[in-house]
Amino acid sequence: MVNLAKIKTIGIIGAGQMGSGIAQIAAQAGFQTLLFDVNKEGLQKAILGIEKSLSKLFEKGKIDEHPPVILGRIKKVIQLSDLVQADFVIEAVNENEELKKSIFIELDKIMPSHVILASNTSSLSVTRLASVTRRPELFIGMHFMNPVPLMSLVEIIRGHATSNETYNLTKELSAKMNKVSVCSQDYPGFIINRILMPMINEAFYTLMEGIASAEDIDTGMKLGTNQPMGPLTLADFIGLDTCYAIIKILHDGLGDNKYRPCPLLKKYVDAGYFGKKSGQGVYKY
């Protein structure tokens, strides 16, 4: 089993918001970082975003190392086979089980047999993802919070076959990347979304039933429970489509009617109101 001292290069699959954020913190932690995406324009956009983020952190005194030095540790790659140099791989593509499985099937063939494969899934079964590989004991979930460079938590999810050695190394790696980790067993929603998504779903029921306006629901929860933003605003930032997909996973996976997706949330998603990223959700942006 590889120990932390032998991990020099980290591979990241997906140059979207999550993947680029993970690449940034890996490079900040001193790792050589391979950022993979099939979209060359997306890769370039990710690098520009990382550069901007690092500059802001440096200006605020949050990091000591000069941004160009950190950025120099990130290499763009467009062939999955280029990740063969990595000592640890984190997948961070869209929350689509079939897509993730297809990537891990290929990755399992490419990577040396001792390399740990991690998925930045927020809700999908780590055990099912691991089952398409020949190394389920070296497979684990790493659910980073968004935005990755600013949020201090990573939720580590143990699949059914994940070994203690894999978990311990992943926990050490998370600490090296300046993250506090919590450990969840592999059940729908894990820890964070098992608690967070029902709250968001209930906020939509509260809105749908006319109990209060969106503004009053958010203000009440902010000031009454000391949260940084209300649940409807948070849903807009996460993406209403993402919230709806996770609630459905909870409902389907646990079979309890208390997780039934709110019809109003579904209506927003059906209308294409995905939140901040689409310019319209519960609120306009």
User: At which residue do the structure tokens 């999810």 appear?
Assistant: 157
Closest residue by Cα to residue 100 from 136, 138, 128: 128
Which residue among 129, 163, 185 closes a domain? Answer: 185
54 and 167: one domain? yes
C-beta of residue 73 within 8 angstroms of C-beta of residue 30: yes
Residue 160: active-site member:
no
6-64 pLDDT tens trace: 999 999 999 999 999 999 999 999 999 999 999 999 999 999 999 999 999 999 999 99
Report the run of H or E that residue 156 belongs to, with start and end. strand 153-158
Give the end of a domain, one of 139, 154, 185: 185
Q: Was 49 annotated as part of a binding site?
A: no
Q: Is 276 annotated as belonging to a binding site? A: no
Specify whether 121 is located in the same domain as 178: yes
pLDDT along the chain (285 residues), means of 10: 90 96 98 97 96 97 96 97 97 95 98 97 96 98 96 98 98 98 97 97 98 98 97 96 94 96 98 96 98
Tell whether 96 is in a known binding site.
no
Domain end marker among 162, 185, 208: 185
Beta strand pairing call for 139-144 and 153-158: antiparallel
Of 122, 123, 174, 201, which one is the catalytic site residue?
Answer: 122
Return the exposure string of 165-203: e unless at least 16 CB atoms fall within 10 Å of the residue's CB, then b.
ebbebbbebbeebebebeebebebbbbbbbebbbebbeb
CATH of the domain at 43: 3.40.50.720
Range of the domain at 8: 4-185
Domain match, 224 and 127 both: no
User: Catalytic site residue 122?
Assistant: yes
Cis peptide before 112 (omega within 30 of 0): no
Number of domains in the chain: 2
220 in a labelled binding site: no
Instruction: Report yes or no: 36 and 14 within 8 Å, Cβ to Cβ.
Output: yes
Residues 105 and 31 in one domain: yes
What whole-number distance in Å separates Cα of residue 110 and Cα of residue 84?
Answer: 6
Active-site choice (125, 181, 193, 201): 193
101 and 235 fall within a common domain: no
The answer to whether the annotation marks 24 as part of a ligand binding site is no
Q: Is residue 211 part of a domain?
A: yes
CATH code for the domain of 214: 1.10.1040.10
**Where does residue 85 rank: exposed (0-12), middle (13-18), buried (19+ CB within 10 A)?**
middle
Query: Are residue 172 and residue 233 in the same domain, yes or no?
Result: no
pLDDT tens digits along 49-89 = 999 999 999 999 999 999 999 999 999 999 999 999 999 99
Q: Is 155 a catalytic residue?
A: yes
The verdict on residue 285 lying in a domain is no
CA distance 86 to 116: 10
On whether 98 is known to bind a ligand per the annotation, the reply is no
Q: 125, 155, 184, 251: which one is catalytic?
A: 155
Query: Is 162 in contact with 126 (CB distance < 8 Å)?
Result: yes
Q: Which pTM does this prediction carry? A: 0.93
Q: Which of 123, 143, 163, 201 is catalytic?
A: 143
Asked if residue 139 lies in contact with residue 130, where contact means CB atoms within 8 angstroms, the answer is yes
- Regarding whether 248 and 159 lie in a shared domain, the answer is no
